[in-house]
Amino acid sequence: MTNDKSLKFHIFGNGWVSGQVQAALQAAALPYTVSLERIENREAVLSELEHIKPTNVINTAGARGDPNVDWCESHREETIRSNIIGASNVADCCFLKGIHLTHFGSGCIYDYDETHPWGGPGYTEQDPPNFTKSFYSYTKVVSEQVLKQYPNVLILRIRNPIAADLNPKNMIVKLASYKKLINVPNSGSILPSLLPGIIVLAKHKETGVYNCEKTNPGAFTHNELMGLLKKHIWPDLAWSNFSEEEQTKILTAPRCNTELDTSKLQEKLSQYGYDIPTAHEAMEKAFGEIKMTQDVTLNRQELYGNAAKNPAPNDTPAFPQNTTSPSCTTPPVKCQSTTFCTLSIASIDTRLMPQAVRRALLQDRLSFPRASRRFRL
């Protein structure tokens, strides 16, 4: 039986997915910290783990590119440093310190073929990856092969992440920014229903590789997703379709289309009493929450244009998330009597701070809860 009071999570990466993970940890009333370090810096990663002493680490960091994975084709060295070297650093340092690691990998390592056609069986965790045509996917295949050798690592194959917001990193917002779309069945990771289950696996220190697409289960075509956007968010939304061949002509790197089998994930979660809702149930709920909580009057091109340009490989600077504690007055530098610290997802780039200041900030946010403590630059 896991004692939640003894758990302490530490997160590498402070982009959009990290913000979703942090919100899920808050909802579960689990304490966490967010790293100030680059995962490419092994010594800094190891030092931070020694200082914080977490029971669990979650790595969401990685080079994904902006506005898409085509960026990785022309930034191969940066992509290698983050997706292969950085991920390996985190896994190895966690292993040396006896810490469980939950690593956010990618499901973009498979493509439909003769044995796995549209509507056919999904790829399982035992199937060897068959898609390395994009450099991003290549690095994800390599990093998975390395990380799965470690006995302390849980690898999650995430793809096309969807959440109940209008962040430019959200798959539905990306799709809405395009005038033309292919209409191919693809599975996606619906984070609001997936992450609570992932936290369950992390708490119980499960290891191995798990498919986390088709999470709910079921695949959506792009037309179906746009139909939901039109129904719930933008009634005037319009788009047209084109072929995969036509899409290839305008892309630098090929894209994969696939479905993954998540029987292993569903079976494991059922052992802990957690059932993932169907894809359609999860999507309807997510779109309903968007309508209730987001400013849907924004033009979709304007919304997508808000994305930061030339992001660092760890997906920083991050988009601000509405996850600060009510007792935080001016995050990130004035926090008091708060259980959760969300320093690195506030609108500040910690890489520009002097090392001494970064260390002071890190030390200030380690107590859970803090007893009327305040730190000022």
Residue 277 pLDDT greater than 90, yes or no: no
Q: What is the pLDDT of residue 219?
A: 67
SS3 call for 330: strand
Q: How confident is the model at residue 214 (pLDDT cuts 50, 70, 90)?
A: low
Residue 175 pLDDT greater than 60, yes or no: yes
Residue 126 pLDDT greater than 70, yes or no: yes
Q: What is the pLDDT of residue 296?
A: 65
Q: How confident is the model at residue 297 (pLDDT cuts 50, 70, 90)?
A: low
Instruction: Determine the Cα–Cα distance for residues 29 and 324; give it in Å rounded to an integer.
Output: 13
**Which of 105-109, 115-119, 169-173, 368-372 is predicted with the least confidence, judged by mean pLDDT?**
368-372
Residue 318 buriedness (CB in 10 A; 0-12 / 13-18 / 19+): buried
Residue reference for tokens 């990193």: 169
SS3 call for 283: helix
> 357 and 49 in contact (C-beta within 8 Å)?
no
- Average of pLDDT values for 135-160? 97
- Average of pLDDT values for 92-112? 97
> 253 and 69 in contact (C-beta within 8 Å)?
yes
Q: What is the pLDDT of residue 350?
A: 43
Reference 201, options 14, 19, 24, 5; nearest CA is: 24
Higher pLDDT: 245 or 348? It is 245
Strand 32-34 relative to strand 208-211, pairing: unpaired
Q: What is the pLDDT of residue 269?
A: 95
Neighbouring-strand partners of residue 190:
162
Domain boundaries, the chain: 4-323
**Which of 100-104, 245-249, 287-291 is predicted with the least confidence, judged by mean pLDDT?**
287-291
Residue 351 pLDDT greater than 70, yes or no: no
Average pLDDT, the chain: 80
> 310 and 353 in contact (C-beta within 8 Å)?
no
List of residues 6+ apart from 224 with CB closer than 8 A? none
Q: How confident is the model at residue 166 (pLDDT cuts 50, 70, 90)?
A: confident
- Average of pLDDT values for 130-140? 96
Q: How confident is the model at residue 27 (pLDDT cuts 50, 70, 90)?
A: very high
For the domain made up of 4-323, the CATH class stated in words is alpha beta
Phi-psi region of 62 (alpha: psi -120 to 50; beta: other; left: phi over 0): left
Torsion angles phi and psi, residue 32, rounded to 5: -155, 160
List of residues 6+ apart from 259 with CB closer than 8 A? 116, 122, 123, 185, 186, 187, 213, 214, 219
If you ran DSSP here, which 8-state letter would residue 344 be given? G
Reference 259, options 136, 157, 366; nearest CA is: 157
Q: What is the pLDDT of residue 365?
A: 41
- Average of pLDDT values for 42-54? 96
Q: What is the pLDDT of residue 118?
A: 81
Helix then strand then coil, in percent of the chain rounded to 5, is 40, 10, 50
Q: How confident is the model at residue 179 (pLDDT cuts 50, 70, 90)?
A: confident
Neighbouring-strand partners of residue 243:
none
Residue 65 pLDDT greater than 50, yes or no: yes
Reference 280, options 364, 374, 207, 188; nearest CA is: 188
Residue 338 pLDDT greater than 50, yes or no: no
Q: What is the pLDDT of residue 303?
A: 54
Q: What is the pLDDT of residue 320?
A: 33
Higher pLDDT: 86 or 228? It is 86
List of residues 6+ apart from 305 with CB closer than 8 A? none
Instruction: Determine the Cα–Cα distance for residues 301 and 173; give it in Å rounded to an integer.
Output: 9
The tokens for 292 are 């209730």
Q: Where are the extended beta strands (E) located within the chain?
A: 9-12, 32-34, 56-59, 100-106, 153-158, 180-181, 208-211, 240-241
- Average of pLDDT values for 227-231? 88
List of residues 6+ apart from 297 with CB closer than 8 A? none
Neighbouring-strand partners of residue 208:
154
